Each structure stands twice: as structure tokens, then as C-alpha cells.
Structure 1
Amino acid sequence: MQYDLTDLRLFVAIAEARNLTRGAERSHLAPSSASHRIRLLEEVIGTPLLIRQARGVGLTRAGEALLRHARQVFAQLEQMHADLAPFATGVRGHVSLWANTHATHSFLPDDLAEFLRAHPQVSVTLEERTSPEIVLAVARGEVEVGVVAERVEGADVELLPYRADRLVLIAPPAHPLARLGVTAFADVLDHPFVMLHAGSAIHTFTMNTAAALGRHLDVRIQVRSFEAVCRMVAAGVGLGLVPRSAVSGGLAAPTVIELAEPWAQRDLQVCIRARDNLSGFAQALVERLLASAPPSATVPAQGQEAAQAPIKGQRG
């Protein structure tokens, strides 16, 4: 297909204005030139994009699809410019890091701040993804470094011990479950929950875990941070599922209840393809993450050997 970014920008401008003349003005084109470009674009794509009306224009189904994709294209271009901009200001390196919700909201902020202070010439792009997505992306070479809490069967990656933590159930202090020391996840699914926002890795994990039991969570409210989950739970809105490290003490803190399931142990691990293949800055980031973990955060010796070896056919 032969069209360029000018054509796409023009189409977006017209679609958003619902008017060809105003869209042409936004694109600094004459209406006749804009109309000609849109006709050529429709010919190249092979279907009408606009519905010409007495007052303005509407979008065909194809036009709606093109508008959605064109917006994504320009969003990606803006992200590309943002990623490239640091190089013009003296930054000489860049590392892409994907991490699950747990790591992103707990340990990584302090560790990355320390790394960036020690390496002012480096920039880091941090994206929150689920552990399986991260492992597969690292295995395919799409991202150099990940932080995960799960293994993926058949993924040829190395997992290096980073931090140890557990998922725990939290309840309002006056909740009937608050007197329990330990419970099974299946036994609390009749109660309403406070959850992180849809799309977060821990939201996906929790919903899938409930679905595997043939149940659906009653999500009372969704928030943007573990701190907000804890505060909502302490206020009596519902139960929550958070890492133990996210629960702070104090009079207004929720009650912590241990989960009996083995999956509640969520040891975080740094995920890479192979140390020898890392760029210099990615290697420095990995070393910083591993060095920042306290001795108690490493996995037991029996699991450590398996964690440092490539994963083949294992799932945790």
C-alpha cells in the first residue's frame, strides 16, 4: 500500500473534526488537496473510509478501524521519539526492563533509582507485564531483562534469585476472617475484594486463579496501587490479595492472613537469556538488582541451583 504519515495525519484530523474542511485546516492543506489525498487513500486501501454528508463526514466501519490503528501508530511514534530523545542529551545507553506488578510496586523503585544514580548516562524503560509474558519476551530476545515470579514451560531462560516474598490475604480488622491465621483461597471467594486495576499482572493472576477453581471474584473496587488496596481494605471495603512487603504496620493497617496454597510464595527472580549475551548496561543493571537483594531474599540452596540454570519444562 502506498500512503504516508501525512495521509494518516490528515485522515485522523478529518475523522476527529467530522469535517473535511476543518481537518484540512488542521493539517495545513487546502480542502481540494485534502479531498484528493483521501480519495487516493481510499483507492489504495480498497474501500470507502468516509461517509460524505450534508454537514461534514462520518466514518465507515473501515474508517473506524483505520482511525484506531492510526492513533496507535502515532502513539508508537511518540514513544519512539521519547526513547530516542535521551541520546540527544548525552545518554549513551538504554535498557528495557519488564517486571510483574509485585516487583514494579515494591522493590524496583528503590533499586532502579540507585542504579540510575550510579549510571547517569543510562536510561531505563520499565513496563509492567505478567510473568509468562515477560519470560517469553526474554526468551525471544524482545527484552533483555525481566523480573518475574513464575516459570514458563519450555522457555530457554536463566532465572536468578532477586527477592523473596509471599502473597497474603488482607482483611479489615473487624472482618469475620480476621481471626484466622491461615486460610485457603477457595474459602474466601464469597467475600467482596479490593483489586488492583484490570490489566495489572496481579489482577490477571488473581482472576485466573479464581477461574481455575470455577469461581468468579466479586470485585467491589479497583485501585492503582498496593497502598490503595491496603487502605481500602483497612477501611472495610473488602478483602485484598497483596505481597506481604506491601503491608505496612500501624493502627489503621489491615489484618494479614496467610494463604495455604503453594503459589502464595512469590519469590521474585531476574530473568535473562544468558549473561554473556547481555549488553554492558543490561549486565550492570542485573548486577545491581542481584546485589541489592538482602541475603534472606535468595531462594533456598536446593531451589537456587535450579533457578540459575536454564528452564526447560518447568513451571512454578
Structure 2
Amino acid sequence: MRFDLTDLRLFLHVAESGSITSGAEQSHLALASASARIRGMEEALGVPLLERGRRGVETTEAGRTLLHHARMITQQMEKMRADLGEYASGLKGHVRVMCNTSALAEFLPDALAGFMAAHPQVNIDLEERLSYDIVQAIKDGLADIGVIADSVDSTGLETHPFRDDRLVLAMSPSHPLAAQLKRKRSMAFTDALGYDFIGLAGDSALHKYIAGHAARLGKRLTYRVRLRSLDAVCRMAASGAGLAVLPESAVLRSSGAMDIRHVHITDPWAVRKLLICVRHYADLPGYARELVDALRPAAGAQTDKVR
């Protein structure tokens, strides 16, 4: 049984895309050549690695085992290339980062901009996911670095402090709920569920997070409109069109440009600490370790830990 790196990278691309055609394109191989390589791997092992269907392919149990090892081997190759890159000019590094909505919209842009300016040879793939999906992706080797809320179980991963993230209820001062609250600065989430909401469009991680907590209260959020950015949601909430659950930092940033009120949500899930998570910091390529260091707060008083 002899697999080369081209075989492993091809299988990785096929398994992750669910398509031999897409895997071949990502691997810069002709479809016939890619198919022959996959068949050769299956013949060498004596077991099928993929289940082929009309809508694509899925990995078998043996395929999932190979996928795990292929990821580990390709990651080690990336680490070797990065470490050797310190002795050669022009080598690029590539870091895959997954984060939740608050980190993507509020905290990561400035932090990443400084890092990328100082490291022009490093490229970053940034993807928004729910925190529990990020944890699994890090464990499976689908991402190098994750930014998650501390409300999810990250057992087995190394975590480092990133930022505090409080979710608040934002509204126009003229909204009926604002008049009902008067001078109150906090309220339970359930008391807001009878009103219409403004939210984020698509499969936003923040939208799913809020909807999940409403469902646990036996409620379903009613959205008048869903928008693409936190700033747009702030503007619509300030207009009186509905309530919005937003990171407090987003509301405070917008408050200078619009008349918007916010109150703290007393439910425990609304007060979160964001954490950087990795499988093993020491095993990351050098440039990825530098990114983790750049993202961590300057005042590193909190202790890093393996959960």
C-alpha cells in the first residue's frame, strides 16, 4: 500500500466537497486521472473508500479513517513548509479560521488587518459558523483556529481568551417596550418574545443561536425583516421597526450616529466570553502560532487551558 501526497490531497478534496469532479478540479487533475487514483487507492486497500450516488460521494467507514490520517499528514506537511519557509523568501502560509457572528463582525477585522499587514506572505480563509460546529471542525482538522463562545463544550481543545461579548436587546426609544421598561436597564428575554424582531439574514450563526434560545422557551421569533449586516440591523431597530438582539459593542458603535436604546438581557446565555481554540498550539505552523498570539488580548492575565 503506497499513497503519495497527491493521492492524499485528492482524497481530502473529494471527501470535503462530496464530489470527485470538484476534488479533481481543486487538485488540478483531469477527472479521468482523479477517478483512476481513487480506484487505485481502493484496490490497494481492498475496501471501498467512497459510496457513489447520483448526488455525489460520501466516505465509507474506511474512507473516514483515511480522511483523518490524510488531514494529519497534510497539516504536518504545511507545518514543515512553514517552518522551512523561515529560511526561504516568498513562501506563503495559509490559515483556516472559523468564528461566530460577533467575532466576525466586531472583533476580528481590526485584529486580522494588523496581522496581515505585518505578514503579507500569509493568506487567511475566514468562515462564520456556530460555536459548536467550530469545535467539531477544529477536532476534525477542517480549520486551524476557531473563535467560539465559552458556552459550548470545548473539551480536548486548547483555549485562549479573546474578547468579552455581551448580547443586548436594542430598540428605538419610541418602541412600546421602551416605554414599558422606562428606566430599567435589563430584562428577561422571554418578556420580549411577544414583539416583532429585526435580524440577520441567511444562516447567520447569531441568528441560529438566538432562535435556539427562543425555542428552549417554547417560542418562535417573528421577524419583520432580516438584513445582511449588524449595522443595517441597528439602523432598522433604531427606526422603530422591531427589536434586535445584538452584540453590545455593535450598538455602542452605532449610538453616536442614531437614536437607539439597549437593555441587558438577564439570561445567562447573553453574557459570553469569546475564546480562541486550537487542537494543539505547539503543532500549528509558525505563522498560525503567530496569528494566535496576535489575536490574544495584550493583557494576558487570564490563564490558557486545555479543557
**What TM-score bracket applies, with the shorter chain setting the length?**
0.5 to 0.7
Aligned to 1:259: 265
Aligned to 1:212: 216
Question: For 2:151 and 2:136, how far apart are their aligned partners in 1?
Answer: 10
When residues 164 and 112 of structure 1 are mapped into structure 2, their CA distance, relative to the original with a 3 A threshold, is same
Q: Does the 8 A contact of 2:151 with 2:269 survive in 1?
A: no
| AA at the equivalent of 1:168 | V
Query: Displacement, 1:141?
Result: 2.3
Query: Structure 1-normalised TM-score?
Result: 0.65
Structure with the greater alpha carbon radius of gyration:
1
When residues 102 and 294 of structure 1 are mapped into structure 2, their CA distance, relative to the original with a 3 A threshold, is same
Q: Percent identity?
A: 42
Work out whether 1:309 is the aligned partner of 2:305. Answer: yes
Selected match of 1:282 from 274, 285, 288: 288
Query: Displacement, 1:244?
Result: 0.6
Work out whether 1:246 is the aligned partner of 2:250. Answer: yes
| AA at the equivalent of 1:288 | A
Query: Displacement, 1:153?
Result: 3.3
SS in structure 2 opposite 1:169?
Answer: strand
| AA at the equivalent of 2:192 | V
Question: For 2:56 and 2:21, how far apart are their aligned partners in 1?
Answer: 12
Query: Displacement, 1:253?
Result: 3.1
Q: Does the 8 A contact of 2:99 with 2:129 survive in 1?
A: yes
Query: Displacement, 1:284?
Result: 0.8
Q: Does the 8 A contact of 2:238 with 2:259 survive in 1?
A: yes
Q: Does the 8 A contact of 1:168 with 1:243 survive in 2?
A: yes
| AA at the equivalent of 1:165 | D
Query: Displacement, 1:257?
Result: 0.6
When residues 91 and 254 of structure 1 are mapped into structure 2, their CA distance, relative to the original with a 3 A threshold, is farther
Question: For 1:251 and 1:216, how far apart are their aligned partners in 2?
Answer: 31
- Aligned pairs, how many? 223
Q: Does the 8 A contact of 1:147 with 1:269 survive in 2?
A: yes
Question: For 2:217 and 2:266, how far apart are their aligned partners in 1?
Answer: 15
Across the aligned residues of Structure 1 and Structure 2, the Cα RMSD in angstroms comes to 2.5
Query: Structure 2-normalised TM-score?
Result: 0.67
Q: Does the 8 A contact of 1:132 with 1:151 survive in 2?
A: no
Q: Does the 8 A contact of 1:91 with 1:123 survive in 2?
A: no
**Runs of 5+ consecutive residues of structure 2 not aligned to the other structure:** 1-18, 26-52, 58-89
Query: Displacement, 1:294?
Result: 5.4
**Runs of 5+ consecutive residues of structure 1 not aligned to the other structure:** 10-64, 71-89, 312-316
